Amino acid sequence: MKPVRFAKFFVLYLAGVASLLAFPAAAAERPKLVLMITVDQLRGDIPIRFAHRFGSGGFRYLLDNGVYYSNAHYQHATNFTAVGHATLATGGNGQQHGLAGNDWHDFATGKQVYCVEDDRYNIISREKKAHEGISPRNLTSTTIGDELVIATGKRARVFSVSIKDRGAILPGGHLGKAFWFSTSTGEFVTSTYYYEDYPEWVKAWNKEKRADRYRDKTWSLSFPEDTYVNHIADTHERPYGGLSKAFPKPMKDADPKKYYGALRFTPFGDEVTLDFALELLRKERLGQGPHTDMLAISFSVTDYIGHAHGIESVEYEDNIIRLDRTLEELFKNIDRDVGLANTLIFLSSDHGMDMVPENKAELGYEAGRHYPEKFLAAVNAGLQKRYNTTEPLVVAFWNPSLYLNLDLVKKLGLEVSAVEDALREEILKVPGVDVAVTRTQLLKGDVPNNPIMNKVQRSFHSKRSGNVTFVQDQYWYLYPKAEEFAGMHGSPYSYDTYVPIVFAGPNIKPQKVTRLVAPEDIASTVAQILGTVPPSGSVGTPLVEVLGERP
């Protein structure tokens, strides 16, 4: 290019840049508010199975006005609350976002680590207890909200709300503000990581004791019981806190000491969550400023009810019907205060769920329930015999990992990889175990190339996962507390990986998409819409149907 022509080109280029800086064309097209909705334990088939029960303003609004992905599956094996929320917020898997599970074993301290614990910060106005220091410290990736805050020079505001602390903290990221429900006080709380003291509006909301308004309420069915899919009483359910097994379920029957905890096992828990989230929306004036704000809400009740009664229960079905009404109320308020036309909404779930194993067995499937104390005793006995020691070599189990006592391995003069191989052989002897792989194999990438092992590899974290990772047989319940719940998730099987994904908002044309996609794709899609860099751990691919033809 000749010097004169280059000079003219350069002047035009600078003029173009200047015009973009002075008049950010994309800014007018960007949403005023990003609304991230996570429905805990909402398997992918549920919105369609119960669509005939929905009104027009909740799930139906999203299905009729958004891009609905009916074939979305997580690409990791550890399908638990913390891991799913982290993937939704970051677009990454275990090695990228750092969450090896809801809990894991710390090799350095020999102690349990809870996914969002941080002993540097306590819940405001409360003394620190074990595992009660709270922050997003263990999240190793940035999130959608973090990148939005960074891209706007800290002008965008990000808030996150959930009954569960991990359901609020992980979507809120490092730069947002998170609030969660206290089952001891009925208040929404936060930690000194976020504030030195509660905002005045939070103090006022808590002072009103709004969660107490449900003490005289009764959870009754929305329709005649015989119209529900599974209306026969389930003898394997595990109701919480004194609540009735049958309908109606009066809240006055709950153990007074467990009342706030019992709210989580009724639709009222999501109603309380919404009440607080709407107060936050109004008092913080989200979506009212010159920059895009973000509000993440995780509705947790579906998970609690699914665990207590099973995903195929009347309780679960009726809760979905009531959640539809809760979503409708949320969208009405968003439309009034911000405008749905100005709001990017995306809804998904952190994991799916299978039937209660005893119910599955009654249908003729080989289903069962693992008792960790029994298989730990069995594998330790096998290793002790091999290595002629009376001390246990396996010191911890946290889904899906077994952890070795590395000091004892060293004391015995053994190679860690050799003991891992032996442990792998021992755990495979346990009925109800499908496959197992060692830490050494995963570090080397020396695993079979098949769908299950690929998911296991993606879940592996080099510092936090155990010495042997194993996968239970299909339909088997696996959790440190074998009898705490009726049903459990956490496997790489389709019933646990399957979740819905729906996007609705400005410039999004309604359609149903059946191709295979993953929740890992959400973060990079939102980044494209907002014009931000994807979160640092993002491995997903933007969803072209959502992006369409954008300015």
Any bridge partners for residue 470, and if so which?
Answer: 436
Question: Encoding tokens for residue 4?
Answer: 């004169």
In three-state secondary structure terms, 75 is coil
78, 81, 302, 343: the active-site residue: 81
What distance in Å separates the CA atoms of residue 530 and residue 500, rounded to the nearest whole number? 22
What distance in Å separates the CA atoms of residue 248 and residue 250, rounded to the nearest whole number? 6
DSSP annotation string for 237-252 = ----TT--SSSSEEGG
Kindly report the pTM of this predicted structure.
Answer: 0.93
Give me the numbers of helices (H) and strands (E) for the chain, helices first please.
22, 19
Q: How confident is the model at residue 2, as a pLDDT?
A: 43
Ordered by where they begin, the domains of the chain are 31-211+260-353+497-547 (3.40.720.10), 371-431+433-472 (3.30.1360.150)
Instruction: Label residue 183 exposed, middle or buried (CB < 10 Å: 0-12, 13-18, 19+).
Output: middle
Question: What's the N-to-C CA distance of the chain in angstroms?
Answer: 30
Annotated active-site residue 109? The verdict is no
Helix H segments across 310-412?
314-337, 357-362, 372-387, 406-411
What distance in Å separates the CA atoms of residue 331 and residue 326, rounded to the nearest whole number? 9
What distance in Å separates the CA atoms of residue 196 and residue 199, rounded to the nearest whole number? 9
Q: How confident is the model at residue 10, as a pLDDT?
A: 40
What distance in Å separates the CA atoms of residue 170 and residue 143, rounded to the nearest whole number? 8
Local mean pLDDT, 10-residue blocks, the chain (551 residues): 41 38 44 98 97 96 97 98 98 98 95 95 80 89 98 98 98 98 97 97 98 97 94 83 92 94 98 98 97 98 97 97 98 98 98 97 96 98 97 97 97 98 98 98 95 97 97 98 96 98 96 98 98 98 89 57
Q: How confident is the model at residue 27, as a pLDDT?
A: 38
Q: How confident is the model at residue 548, as a pLDDT?
A: 87
Q: How confident is the model at residue 29, as a pLDDT?
A: 72
Question: Encoding tokens for residue 477?
Answer: 């319940």
What residues contact 334, with CB distance under 8 A and at least 6 apart? 33, 35, 281, 340, 343
Q: How confident is the model at residue 130, as a pLDDT?
A: 61
Q: How confident is the model at residue 231, as a pLDDT?
A: 77
Question: Encoding tokens for residue 132?
Answer: 């009660």
